[in-house]
Amino acid sequence: RTKFKGGNGYSFFDPKQQTLLEIKTELESEIIRAIEGDEFCAHFQPQVDVNGKVSGAEALIRWNHPTKGLVPPYQFIPLAEQFGLIQKLQNIVLRDICLLLKELSKHAIIPPNYRIAINMAQNQFNSPTLKNELISILNEYQVSPHQIMLEITESMLSKDLSYTVQQMHELKAQGFTFSIDDFGTGYSCLSTLHAYPVDELKIDKSFIDNIENVQTGLPIVETIINLAKNLNISVMAEGVETEKQFSILKEKKTDGIQGYLVAKPMPAEDYITWHQGVTNS
């Protein structure tokens, strides 16, 4: 009955055949079905320092759909947020992170300060129960919050300053660290940035793509790096694809690198093999 759109179309269903409400209801039950069917999992993309030493990884959710194959996050994360299902998905990602850390501790070397980053959704980050939910899952697996970095976006900082600062301090007191994802693409208020207990700025890929342009690209990247240094926080570049980009970032004293140049996001088993390969040599 339901028509799936082929190719990379945004929508799952043919909008001409159904009302918007019908489409939403079907998508919602499709996501619920997929959660119950264990179709979601996290993939992991390595993060390294400028000397190539592994420093962590980012967990990125994937939907392994029985007929559509791997569905990228932009096609379902916003919907899951709308349907109030994002917390369920995040719990799957966090559990996958815990399982990976357990496996790594058995089979590989975990460098000091090694962390796995998890992307936070807006309405989830504002939830007063967030801390307890995160802690209870970590406790199940005996994983320390020191091994988890929470990625938030600039838009989450621009809401209620005092509430957000308090929420962040409570999470930091547990050992969690914070990264601002896609930095430079939102509207951070630079005058209040110092008020937030942030550990890392993550330079958005769009700036890295343009880094070789000394007039329009490089100055922006340098500005973000200097901003991070002045605030005494570290700076990670995301979406690094070429040796040239890497060498510029190294020269400009970026702390960390993530991108296809190092490795693409991988299923946990492949990540473990990759991690063993670079830490055991």
* Contacts with Mg ion, residue ranges (CB under 5 A): 41, 119, 151, 181-182
- Binders in 98-117 for ligand C2E, by CB under 6 A: none
In angstroms and rounded to an integer, the radius of gyration of the C-alpha atoms of the chain is 19
Q: Shortest gap between Cβ of 80 and ligand C2E (angstroms)?
A: 8
The pair of three-digit structure tokens given for residue 237, joined into one six-digit string? 């570049």
Query: How far apart (Å, rounded) are the C-alpha atoms in residues 160 and 163?
Result: 6
Q: Is 137 in the site for ligand C2E (CB under 6 A)?
A: no
User: Which one of Mg ion, ligand C2E, none is in contact with 61 (Cβ closer than 5 to 8 A by kind)?
Assistant: ligand C2E
Q: Which of 121, 221, 225, 272: binder of ligand C2E (CB under 6 A)?
A: 121
User: Which one of ligand C2E, Mg ion, none is in contact with 73 (Cβ closer than 5 to 8 A by kind)?
Assistant: ligand C2E
Torsion, Cα of 54, 272, 73, 78 (10° steps): -80
Q: Which of 27, 31, 54, 61: binder of ligand C2E (CB under 6 A)?
A: 61
> In terms of CB distance, is 103 or 182 closer to Mg ion?
182
CB 262 within 8 A of CB 46: yes
Q: Is 60 in the site for ligand C2E (CB under 6 A)?
A: yes
Q: Shortest gap between Cβ of 62 and Mg ion (angstroms)?
A: 10
Q: Is 46 in the site for ligand C2E (CB under 6 A)?
A: no
Q: Which of 50, 77, 110, 218: binder of ligand C2E (CB under 6 A)?
A: 77
User: Which one of Mg ion, ligand C2E, none is in contact with 41 (Cβ closer than 5 to 8 A by kind)?
Assistant: Mg ion
The residue type found at 27 is: L
CB half-sphere exposure, 54, CA atoms < 13 A: 26
Query: How far apart (Å, rounded) are the C-alpha atoms in residues 165 and 84?
Result: 24
Q: Could you tell me which stretch among 6-14, 24-32, 68-76, 246-254 binds ligand C2E (CB under 6 A)?
A: 68-76
Q: 130-141 vs 161-174: helix axis angle to the nearest 10? A: 20
User: Which one of Mg ion, ligand C2E, none is in contact with 188 (Cβ closer than 5 to 8 A by kind)?
Assistant: none
Q: Shortest gap between Cβ of 241 and ligand C2E (angstroms)?
A: 4
Binding site for ligand C2E (CB under 6 A): 45, 60-61, 72-74, 77, 93, 119, 121, 181-182, 238-241, 259-260, 265
